[in-house]
Amino acid sequence: MPPISCGRTVSLAGRLTWSPLAVDGLIYARSMVMLVGDRGPEPARQHLLLLADASVRSGRRCEDPTMGFPEPADLTSLVVRTDFSDDGAWRNLQTAIDERNKYPVATYVSDPEYANVAIRTLVDIDAIAESKAYYLFLADTIAMSAPGWPLLAVDLADQPGRTFRVPARWYGGVSANLCIANLDFADFADAADDSGTYRDSDRDEEHRLLEEEPWLRSGRTVHVLEGAQIGSLDDFWRFWLEIAGSNGRYFGQDLAAFDDALSGGPGWPEDATGAGFIVEWRDHGRSQASLGRSFGQLVKIFERRVPRCLKLC
């Protein structure tokens, strides 16, 4: 007879416990999650933690629920499949995301464990996880069937359970800004339309006009920054000193000094006209990969001090 054991109990501040019955390392019996309050133990919400699932699952390994969600690859976000009715639609959704981005922007998770999972369950999983996901995107029934592949973004941290939809067209930009903490989940959720969908239409339109209507550039000086040449902050400072020209004499070459420069201090572009200037950051994904969090900090300074001067290409 195979060994029978009770999996180790995991608790969170005396409120959550997990103790599955395992036979030879496989879950065969019901797991239990308890909420312990002033009046003693009470049954947990109907949706038990996904990784401490209450259903009988043949062949599923006994896992520690504090493991949480899979780790996304660097500078990508989790895209979790919850609709398993159409494998072709899942492949098409991935293509819709990947073909719009030069570099990987998504870590795809296709595991039947997440089929039709409730938002509250996702929040609970992340709440006790040792490594937090903070947010993720769901490929649910609507995302897999509606025009534009509108993924469901889910906040797991600041306002747990808050959601908005984002079509695949704009997923890459949303994911990039969340990954580097350039913008918060609420920044996108607050900008969603009445249908709860975020569309980066203003920026798309401005970039289209800049590309198709050169006369719009005439009032602003344009500086081109090649992503392949920016592998560190020192590389960026060298680029900026060239733009600053004589104004860069007292430029401090750090983020605080850059913020001051874009406020009109030492380091303001020497040839900027009264209409301002534009920085085209081409192949910016390469710089983003090299600079990490610093990339987001630079972008945030650009957008805070000189709105719409930065064009990420």
CATH of the domain at 163: 3.40.50.800
Q: Pick the last residue of a domain from 190, 219, 237.
A: 190
Helix, coil or strand: residue 2: coil
The yes-or-no verdict on residue 166 having pLDDT over 50 is: yes
Mean pLDDT of the chain: 75
Compute the radius of gyration of the chain from its Cα atoms: 24
Residue whose C-alpha is closest to residue 137's, from 175, 103, 190: 175
pLDDT score, position 199? 85
Q: Pick the last residue of a domain from 190, 218, 245.
A: 190
- Are residues 91 and 36 both part of a single domain? no
Confidence of residue 65 (pLDDT cuts 50, 70, 90): low
Q: How many domains does the chain have?
A: 3
Contact between 296 and 182 (Cβ < 8 Å)? yes
Exposure class string for 90-112: b at 16+ Cβ within 10 A, else e: beebbebbbeebeebbbbbbeee
The yes-or-no verdict on residue 310 having pLDDT over 50 is: yes
Q: What are phi and psi of 78, to 5 degrees?
A: -75, 130
Angle between helices 87-98 and 168-179 (to 10 degrees): 60
- Overall average pLDDT of the 22-31 stretch: 37
The yes-or-no verdict on residue 105 having pLDDT over 70 is: yes
- Overall average pLDDT of the 171-182 stretch: 87
Residues 68, 127: Cα–Cα separation, whole Å: 9
- Are residues 51 and 101 both part of a single domain? no
Residue whose C-alpha is closest to residue 107's, from 132, 78, 68: 78
pLDDT score, position 64? 52
Residue whose C-alpha is closest to residue 225's, from 136, 308, 310: 310
The yes-or-no verdict on residue 181 having pLDDT over 70 is: yes
The yes-or-no verdict on residue 83 having pLDDT over 50 is: yes
Other CB atoms within 10 Å distance of the CB of residue 216: 13
- Are residues 109 and 53 both part of a single domain? no
Q: Pick the last residue of a domain from 137, 164, 190.
A: 190
Contact between 166 and 198 (Cβ < 8 Å)? yes
Contact between 89 and 144 (Cβ < 8 Å)? yes
Write out the residue range of the structural domain in which residue 11 sits: 4-65
Domain-located, residue 72: no
State pTM to two decimals: 0.54
How far apart, in Å, are the Cα atoms of 109 and each of 127, 130, 153? 19, 19, 14
- Are residues 85 and 174 both part of a single domain? yes
pLDDT score, position 101? 83
Q: What are phi and psi of 26, to 5 degrees?
A: -110, 140
- 15-24, 96-105, 136-145, 238-247: least confidently modelled range: 15-24
DSSP calls for 70-130: PPPPTT-EEEEE---S-HHHHHHHHHHHHTT-SS--EEEE--GGGTT--HHHHHHHHHH-S
Task: Put residue 68 in one of left, alpha, beta given phi > 0 → left and psi -120 to 50 → alpha.
Answer: left
Confidence of residue 219 (pLDDT cuts 50, 70, 90): low
pLDDT in tens, 240-266: 999 898 888 899 999 999 999 888 889
- Are residues 115 and 214 both part of a single domain? no
Domain-located, residue 290: yes
